[in-house]
Structure 1
Amino acid sequence: MAIQPHIDTDALLTIGNHVRDALPTAVTGVAVAAHGDLALDVEAAAIRDVVAFLRDDPRCRFVSFVDICGVDYPERPQRFDVVYHFLSPEHNTRVRVKVRTDERTPVPSIIDDFPAANWFEREAYDLYGILFSGHPDLRRLLTDYGFEGHPLRKDFPLTGFVEVRYDEAQGRVIYEPVKLTQEFRNFDFLSPWEGTDYVLPGDEKAEGANKGANKGANKG
């Protein structure tokens, strides 16, 4: 049986309220998330101010950047949540910072505050189309060059008629119509213990022996 760690909710809320008191126009919400992380809702334009405060303030010291991820809610005007996770080794505490944005409004990059955010911001751009202002190299990271669309959006099509491959002769990625190398196969779903109703290659002698045995059994 797993032992659940004790979560000091009051201590987490104290830190969250401390951040909100210091940056009242930037922090719009403070809560304790389901798994015991401090959760802050933040205005997107103020993300760098909040990140710098979380890193430098003695009561916070969230000096370890963990990751950035995106969440898509297509029905909202600001369809994207950009979620940041940080760790404070000094206080053994984690914080989740969440901002909202849409398809056209960029979120300030935090690379100058945490250089490790570089590829995470590129990944969020590639997979969701989330824009980051001030990023020095905001280009695709996981999909190929020339890829159309953003795969993790909930309105991204699941099927298509075009496939992508690397062409050795042309030395680049190319798009071409999907071609099925084998359009039809006749599968044999008979049980191997029951045997097939035809002779498998290499089993011709065994087939003859089986016929002889069956004849002898029938005579007996």
Structure 2
Amino acid sequence: MATLHSAPRFTQIDGLKNTISNALGDHLVEAREEHGELLFHVQRGSIETALRTLRDDFEYQQLMEIAGVDYPNRNERFEVVYMLLSVTTNNRIMVKCRASEDTPVPTVTTLWPNAGWLEREVFDMYGVLFDGNTDLRRILTDYGFEGHPFRKDFPLTGYVELRYSEDEKRVVYEPVKLAQDLRQFDFMSPWEGADYVLPGDEKADMPPIDDPKTTESPKQTGAGEKADDKAAEKVSADAPAEKDGGPDAPPPEPTEDQPGRKKRVGKTTDTAKATKPKKGTD
């Protein structure tokens, strides 16, 4: 028996973009559809108001995630993306705003308590400030960590490395020392390959495997009457085994004398009766 649910399996988004765009009004910068989901770009200062409208008027009850994106070439290099879920309509939308290093984004902890942890993560990884967050501290990196590791200009190896010192009996920070330089990749698909020849690939010019190599004459294989006659010759004609041995050679002499065995009773040797010696032979 099928179970009926109040929420549909999927929600049709036809017409939803225009409805939400009209509700957001001047707070909206851009609205578009990507990969079957709606994306709304709103003003940075209006993010709390826009999300409140989506929560109260359009039943997007849950804040699932807050993510950051870094575009170093832009004047406002960061994008803060809010991912909302409507349990009632079984639909997800994304709302984003732009920010720079010195332009804080209004906090949404007034709407969802879990936004405090999510905003701390974006602050830790990207350095985005959230105005109104009363506990904006690092959440993933270590104490005293410098910089924000998810920024595009942050070095892959970081600035310092830590280890436990047996001499000082504590964790110490040291400058990063690499045994070799980092490899530079062209970020191309390994299945398609690069447009240039990589070192070592110039040796890969081999005949096609689909075309098997065949011999047109016995000369190419080395076979023939001369090869058969030469193969019949004995290479070890003067070897000791060839001189002393052969098909008619006598068996070797025994190395020690063995006493004669007593005759057994019967014609077979695998019965209990046959193992008994004849009477009077002892």
TM-score computed with the length of structure 2 as normaliser: 0.56
Q: Are the aligned partners of 2:17 and 2:31 in contact in 1 as well (CA < 8 Å)?
A: yes
1:137 paired to 2:135: yes
How far has the Cα of 1:164 moved from its partner?
2.2
Q: Which has the higher strand share?
A: 1
Q: Hey, what's the Cα distance between the residues in 2 that align with 1:150 and 1:68?
A: 17
What is the rounded CA distance, in whole Å, between the counterparts of 2:168 and 2:137 in structure 1? 23
**Contact 2:11–2:91 (8 Å) recurs in 1:** no
Alpha-carbon distance between aligned partners in 2 of 1:164 and 1:24, rounded to the nearest angstrom: 51
Cross-structure match for 2:52? 52
Alpha-carbon deviations, 1:141-174, whole Å to 9, x = none?
Answer: 1001111110010000123563124679989764
Distance 1:124 1:143 in 2: 12
Counterpart residue identity of residue 38, structure 1? L
Q: CA deviation at 1:16?
A: 2.8
CA offsets, 1:187-215, max 9 Å, x none? xxxxxxxxxxxxxxxxxxxxxxxxxxxxx
TM-score, length-scaled by structure 1: 0.70
Aligned sequence identity (%) = 48
Tell me the residue number matched to 1:112: 110
Q: What's 2:216 paired with? A: none
CA distance in 2, matches of 1:91, 1:171: 57
**Take 1:74 and 1:123, find their aligned partners in 2: how far apart are those partners?**
19
Deviation at 1:30, TM superposition (A): 1.4
Distance, in Å, in 2 between the alignment partners of 1:170 and 1:136 is 37
Q: Helix, strand or coil: the match of 1:25?
A: helix
Alpha carbons 1:65, 1:86 under 8 Å: kept: yes
Larger Rg, first or second structure (1 or 2): 2
Contact preservation (8 Å) 1:123, 1:142: yes
Q: Which residue number corresponds to residue 90 of structure 2?
A: 92
Trace 1:203-214 onto structure 2 (pairs within 5 A): none
Q: 2:12 aligns with which of 8, 19, 25?
A: 8
Whether 2:64 is the aligned partner of 1:78: answer no
Partner AA of 2:125 in structure 1: L
Q: CA–CA distance in 2 between the matches of 1:129 and 1:92?
A: 33
Q: Does 1:41 align with 2:45?
A: no
What is the CA–CA distance in structure 2 between the aligned matches of 1:122 and 1:177, rounded to whole Å? 27
RMSD: 2.7
Contact 1:20 1:26 in 2 (8 A): no
Assess if the C-alpha contact under 8 Å between 1:83 and 1:97 holds in 2: yes
Alpha-carbon distance in 2 for matches of 1:15, 1:125 = 32
Structure 2: gaps spanning 5 or more residues: 1-8, 180-240, 242-282
Q: Which has the higher contact order (CA 8 A, sep 6+)?
A: 1
CA–CA separation in structure 1 for the residues paired with 2:77 and 2:39: 19
Contact kept? 2:10, 2:91, Cα under 8 Å: no
- 1:30 and 2:31 aligned: yes
| Greater Cα offset, 161-170 or 137-146 | 161-170
